[in-house]
């Protein structure tokens, strides 16, 4: 079943785009948890880290590199990257995504 993020990738749903290339797309989270809250998703429909395959190694490296570039381009010097995996961790959209969160002091440990 197509997730909200699949529909954003296909253009069926709009997004506030921050970055795009042939492998990934980044856009602002609709319910930001901090002054900067960006989601970075692969165009490939991977449900979560749980379903990664060896063939995804290069893609995951690309995503991490882009997450750093996107955070810095947003003016952040300090930020948190979060990948929720599974419902109990808080994952609500089952299309792999990296949260890039910053612009305020973040507490630890997470809830």
Closer Cβ to ligand AMP, 48 or 76, answer by number: 48
Single residue of 29, 43, 52, 81 touching ligand AMP by CB under 6 A: 29
Cα–Cα–Cα angle for 69, 54, 85, nearest 5°? 65
Active site (annotated) includes residue 97: yes
- Collapse the DSSP code of 10 into the 3-class scheme (helix H, G, I; strand E, B; otherwise coil) and give the result: helix
Q: Is 6 in the site for ligand AMP (CB under 6 A)?
A: no
Enclosing H/E stretch for 100: strand 98-102
Which residues are CB-neighbours of 108 under 8 A, at least 6 positions away? Answer: none
92 belongs to the binding site for ligand AMP (CB under 6 A) = yes
- Cβ proximity of 63 and 24 under 8 Å: yes
Smaller CB distance to ligand AMP: residue 67 or 91? 91
- Per CB under 6 A, residues contacting ligand AMP are 4, 13, 15, 27, 29-31, 39, 84, 90-93
């Amino acid at each position: 079943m197509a997730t909200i993020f699949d529909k954003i990738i296909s253009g069926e749903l709009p997004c506030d785009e921050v970055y795009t290339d042939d492998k990934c797309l980044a856009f602002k989270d609709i319910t930001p948890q901090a002054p900067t809250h960006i989601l970075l998703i692969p165009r490939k429909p991977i449900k979560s880290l749980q379903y990664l395959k060896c063939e995804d190694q290069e893609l995951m490296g690309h995503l991490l590199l882009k997450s750093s570039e996107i955070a810095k381009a947003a003016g952040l010097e300090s930020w948190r990257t979060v990948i929720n995996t599974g419902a109990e961790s808080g994952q609500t959209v089952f299309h792999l995504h990296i949260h890039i969160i910053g612009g305020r002091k973040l507490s630890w440990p997470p809830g």
